[in-house]
């Protein structure tokens, strides 16, 4: 295709077409020329110029009320926004396109736009939402007996989602189906799919199959002179050679990828190539070249906000400086790497969690709507029965039977639904509490502490930390499906957690867990309730304080109930809020919020009166800590 193989000639052609159309006052011709030029700019990495062309194209199509091509312009603009990581702008464009296509009932373009939605959500880690859009798109294509090309495209995209979710056999299955029906003349589409297939095989450890697919992909993309795809597949081949220990071949391929990326202004491709080169040079002991490559990777990744490459550049720089025995910079970049990895991973996981949460809320609302509709229908029947009263005693008796039957059915149905919704609420709040308790920050901080202890050659301390960390995670997961566990088990989990936090913060606070209950094994409590309050006391109460830091957790019986108290001598809630504000961090603990909601739900479910109260401790008006009282009324 001229668009891919000879972009300069294509630009001249588009400019000439625009000039002729302008002279003839031919809006449709102007719009088509602008759209073509936008596509050319997009293909070769010039996003800002492409968006300008597409917007101008849309304006001219609007003049002649051509909704189909207006929508096409919105789709192209959205795809370009996606290329540079602007998700919200992209989704807004796809919304505009979808509305226009629905107005003209263009099913094929509706399916294409749904596919675009899927791509955007996939790029930003929302894999469940992405898969939903792809499946909707595939259903429209298949039900309307579309040709192989669009079906192949969606199958390949579903494969990408499975690959991102690390379900590589499923990814290979979809990629293989896509390759089997791909039009042979579609060099670009087939080349990209083969490249993805090669990546999936590589992740499965099938390097021979991976190399075969990647080489086939490179050949096809070279024929089309599709620079963006060539950069990606050449980078991947270079990475594959690294895994095979073929360093010379790897350097040649990565430098080739870098040159193509520079020529085509492909910033992401440049960053990937530089990072891969840094790794190879470092392995070969060429530290100076490794350092230059890693710094170039970081500079480009920062400038164009490419998260995966920022993370990898930090990691590479840490390893390079440690090889240079520059431990100060080595540890500095190591902590930048782990903190950045933490934040990116946490954000993605939270987005996925909120996706599931949103789906739950929608299901819940739909259930309530269904119940209301059912009630309305039943009331209508009851009204009809009442009208038949005047036709005699038999009608009256029948009407009463129907009415009471309806009332009984309505009440029992509503009660059943309420029980179901209550159970669903309890389950999602339990999931929320579990997520809060073993959140990514805690996991990464723990792993970072273990790594740092190993690097400091404190192997005994690192082994102790690792053993406790593994035991804590196992206990939390073992108990995650239970509504109640023995108090003794909960105390053991809390003790492990506090010991880990104490090790992480260099034993900088004192703590004790007191139990004045005769038999802790005989009492049961809901798991994952107390820990968020202990976490909050340590992180926001004790750690910002100078001087002695103390934490006391106690369990006692009170009027037939179980009372847990979490007391710290920290800076207090007011000062903690000020500290959080200065650091631009959100202070409110989601873990505590979810735990409170969960106890409220369990009160209804178990007919109990559990409650949580928080008190600020003062000494002559000065904050001297915080006290949390958790009453388990059904223990």
> Which segments within 474-595 are labelled E, that is strand?
485-486, 510-515, 524-525, 550-558, 561-568
Tell me whether residue 93 is in a domain: no
pLDDT single digits (tens) 218-273: 999 999 999 989 999 999 999 899 889 899 999 999 999 999 999 988 999 999 99
Give the integer Cα–Cα distance in Å for 509 and 50.
58
The answer to whether residue 240 sits within a structural domain is: yes
Task: Indicate whether 319 and 355 sit together in one domain.
Answer: no
CA-to-CA distance for 620 and 623, rounded, in angstroms? 9
pLDDT at 252: 95
Classify residue 56: in a domain, yes or no: no
Weakest mean pLDDT among 166-180, 306-320, 453-467, 517-531: 453-467
Element (H or E) spanning 446, and its range?
Answer: helix 440-455
Total structural domains in the chain? 3
d(CA 481, CA 492): 18
Residue 438 confidence (pLDDT)? 47
The per-residue pLDDT for range 149-169, each reduced to its tens digit, is: 889 999 999 999 998 888 899
Query: Is-contact 572 626, C-beta < 8 A?
Result: yes
> Which residues are registered as beta bridge partners of 628?
566, 614
At 22 the pLDDT is 72
**What integer is the mean pLDDT of 125-132?**
85
Average per-residue pLDDT for the chain:
79
pLDDT for the residue 482: 76
Highest mean pLDDT among 35-44, 212-221, 437-446, 604-613: 212-221
Among candidate residues 437, 460, 495, the one where a domain is terminated:
437
Residue 233 structural domain? 226-325
Give pLDDT tens digits for 574-628.
Answer: 888 887 766 544 444 555 666 666 666 666 655 567 788 999 999 988 999 999 9
**Dist. CA 210–CA 55, nearest whole Å:** 41
Write the DSSP symbol of residue 85.
T
Q: Which residue has the higher pLDDT, 479 or 64?
A: 64
**pLDDT per position as a tens digit, 536-589:** 899 889 998 989 999 999 999 988 889 999 999 999 988 888 877 665 444 445
Looking only at the bridges linking them, the beta strands covering 510-515 and 550-558 are parallel
**CATH code, 275:** 1.25.40.10
Q: Of the candidates 237, 273, 282, which has an alpha carbon nearest to the alpha carbon of residue 255? A: 273
How far is it, in rounded angstroms, from Cα 535 to Cα 387? 64
447 alpha-carbon distance from chain centroid: 21
Looking at the fold, whether 497 and 552 belong to one and the same domain comes out as yes
What's residue 470's pLDDT?
78
pLDDT at 207: 94
Shared-domain flag, residues 299 and 372: no
Q: Is residue 623 part of a domain?
A: yes
- Is residue 394 located within the same domain as residue 288? no
Residue 341 has pLDDT above 70, yes or no: yes
Angle (CA) 352 356 362, round 5° = 140
Q: What is the pLDDT of residue 27?
A: 77
Among 23-27, 33-37, 625-629, the minimum mean pLDDT is found in 23-27
- 283 confidence band (pLDDT: 50, 70, 90): confident
47-61, 425-439, 515-529: which range is least confident on average? 425-439
Instruction: Specify which residues 623 forms β-bridges with.
Output: 618
| Mean pLDDT, residues 168-185 taken together | 92
Tell me the mean pLDDT in the region 289-316: 92
405 compared with 574, residue with greater pLDDT: 574
With cut-offs at 50, 70 and 90, classify the pLDDT of residue 634: low
The answer on 561 and 430 residing in a single domain is no
Separation between Cα atoms, residue 281 and residue 287, nearest integer Å: 6
Stretch 399-427: mean pLDDT, rounded? 50
Q: Write down the pLDDT at residue 164.
A: 84
| Whether pLDDT at 299 is above 70 | yes
Question: Cα dihedral angle (18, 19, 23, 29), rounded to 10 degrees?
Answer: -10
- Please tell me the predicted confidence (pLDDT) of residue 494: 93
Q: Which long-range contacts (CB under 8 A, 24 or more apart) does 245-249 make?
A: 247/280, 247/283, 247/284
Q: Residue 231 domain-assigned?
A: yes
Which tens digit of pLDDT belongs to each residue from 356-375?
Answer: 444 444 444 445 445 544 55
Say if residue 190's pLDDT is above 70: yes
Query: For the chain, first and last CA: distance in Å?
Result: 73
Q: Cα(117)–Cα(223) distance, rounded to whole angstroms?
A: 29
Whether residues 299 and 386 share a domain: the answer is: no
* Domain contains 589: yes
Strongest mean pLDDT among 161-175, 438-452, 478-492: 161-175
Q: Is the pLDDT of residue 355 over 60?
A: no
Last residue of a domain, one of 374, 405, 437: 437
Question: Do residues 284 and 317 share a domain?
Answer: yes
Q: pLDDT digits over 98-115, tens only?
A: 999 999 999 999 999 999
Same structural domain, 400 and 511: no
Question: Can you spell out the DSSP letters for 96-155?
Answer: HHHHHHHHTT-HHHHHHHHHHHHHHHHHTT-HHHHHHHHHHHHHHHHHTT--HHHHHHHH
546: in domain: yes
In the prediction, which pLDDT does 118 show?
Answer: 93
Taking the C-alpha atoms of residue 140 and residue 151, their distance in angstroms, rounded to an integer, is 10
Q: Note the pTM of the prediction, 2 decimals.
A: 0.48
Positive or negative CA dihedral for 149, 151, 156, 160?
Answer: positive
Q: Are residues 316 and 357 located together in one domain of the fold?
A: no
Token pair listed for 305: 């906000």
Going from the C-alpha of 183 to that of each of 191, 291, 629, the distances in angstroms are 11, 44, 68
d(CA 131, CA 144): 20
The yes-or-no verdict on residue 386 having pLDDT over 50 is no
Same-domain pairing of 365 and 321: no
Domain boundary among 405, 422, 437: 437
Residue 29 counted as domain residue: no
pLDDT at 635: 44
The verdict on 502 and 583 lying in the same domain is: yes
- Residue 70 Cα to chain centre, angstroms: 32
| Helix 207-224 × helix 187-203 angle, to 10° | 160
- Of 421, 439, 305, nearest to 371 by C-alpha is 421
3-class DSSP string for 588-632: CCHHHHHHHHHHHHHHHHHCCCCEEEEEEEEECCEEEEEEEEEEE
DSSP state, residue 542: I
pLDDT above 90 for 178: yes
Longest dimension (CA), the chain: 102
Q: What are the strands of the beta sheet with 611-619, ordered from one edge?
A: 510-515, 550-558, 561-568, 622-632, 611-619
| pLDDT higher at 436 or 486 | 486
When pLDDT is cut at 50, 70 and 90, the band that residue 171 belongs to is: very high
Q: Are residues 492 and 624 in the same domain?
A: yes
């Amino acid at each position: 295709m001229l668009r891919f193989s000879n972009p300069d000639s294509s630009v001249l052609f588009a400019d000439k077409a625009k000039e002729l159309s302008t002279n003839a006052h031919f809006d449709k011709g102007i719009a088509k020329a602008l759209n073509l030029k936008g596509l050319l700019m997009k293909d070769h990495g010039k996003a800002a110029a492409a968006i300008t062309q597409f917007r101008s194209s849309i304006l001219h199509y609007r003049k002649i009320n051509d909704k189909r091509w207006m929508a096409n312009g919105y789709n192209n603009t959205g795809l370009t926004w996606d290329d540079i990581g602007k998700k919200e702008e992209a989704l807004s464009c796809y919304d505009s396109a979808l509305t226009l296509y629905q107005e003209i009932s263009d099913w094929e373009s509706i399916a294409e736009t749904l596919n675009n939605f899927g791509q955007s959500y996939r790029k930003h880690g929302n894999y469940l939402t992405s898969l939903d859009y792809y499946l909707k798109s595939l259903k429209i294509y298949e039900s309307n007996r579309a040709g192989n090309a669009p079906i192949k495209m969606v199958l390949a995209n579903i494969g990408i989602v499975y690959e991102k979710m690390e379900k590589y056999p499923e990814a290979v299955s979809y990629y293989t189906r896509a390759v089997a029906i791909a039009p042979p003349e579609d060099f670009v589409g087939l080349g990209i799919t083969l490249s993805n297939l090669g990546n999936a095989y590589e992740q499965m450890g099938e390097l021979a199959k991976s190399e075969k697919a990647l080489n086939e992909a490179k050949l096809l993309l070279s024929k089309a002179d599709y620079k963006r795809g060539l950069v990606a597949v050449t980078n991947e081949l270079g990475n594959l050679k690294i895994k095979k220990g073929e360093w010379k071949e790897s350097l040649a391929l990565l430098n080739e990828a870098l040159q193509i990326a520079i020529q085509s202004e492909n910033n992401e491709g440049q960053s990937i190539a530089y990072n891969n080169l840094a790794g190879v040079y470092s392995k070969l002991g060429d530290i100076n070249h490794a350092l230059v490559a890693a710094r170039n990777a970081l500079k480009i990744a920062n400038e164009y906000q490419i998260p995966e490459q920022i993370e990898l550049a930090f990691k590479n720089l840490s390893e390079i400086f440690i090889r240079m025995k520059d431990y100060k910079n080595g540890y500095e970049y190591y902590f930048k790497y782990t903190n950045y990895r933490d934040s990116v991973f946490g954000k993605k996981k939270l987005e996925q969690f909120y996706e599931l949460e949103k789906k739950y809320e929608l299901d819940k609302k739909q259930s309530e709507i269904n119940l209301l509709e059912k009630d309305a229908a039943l009331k209508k029947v009851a009204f009809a029965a009442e009208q038949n009263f005047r036709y005699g005693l038999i009608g009256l008796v029948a009407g009463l039977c129907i009415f009471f039957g309806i009332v009984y059915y309505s009440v029992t149905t509503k009660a059943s639904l309420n029980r179901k919704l209550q159970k669903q609420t309890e389950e999602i709040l339990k999931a929320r509490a579990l997520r809060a308790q073993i959140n990514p920050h805690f996991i990464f901080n723990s792993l970072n502490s273990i790594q740092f202890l190993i690097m400091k050659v404190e192997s005994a301390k690192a082994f102790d930390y690792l053993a406790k960390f593994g035991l804590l995670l196992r206990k939390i997961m073992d108990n995650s499906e239970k509504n109640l566990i023995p108090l003794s088990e909960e105390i053991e989990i809390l003790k492990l957690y506090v010991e880990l936090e104490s090790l992480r913060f260099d034993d900088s606070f004192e703590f004790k867990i007191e139990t004045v209950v005769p038999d802790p094994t005989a009492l049961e409590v809901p798991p994952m309730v107390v820990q968020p309050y202990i976490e909050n006391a340590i992180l926001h109460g004790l750690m910002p304080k100078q001087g002695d830091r103390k934490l006391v957790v106690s369990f006692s019986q009170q009027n037939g109930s179980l009372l847990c108290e979490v007391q710290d001598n920290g800076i207090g809630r007011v000062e903690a809020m000020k500290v959080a504000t200065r650091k631009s961090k959100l202070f409110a603990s989601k873990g505590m919020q979810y735990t409170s909601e969960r106890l409220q739900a369990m009160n209804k479910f178990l007919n109990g009166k559990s409650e949580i109260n928080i008190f600020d401790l003062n000494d002559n008006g000065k904050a001297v800590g915080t006290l949390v009282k958790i009453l388990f009324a059904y223990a």
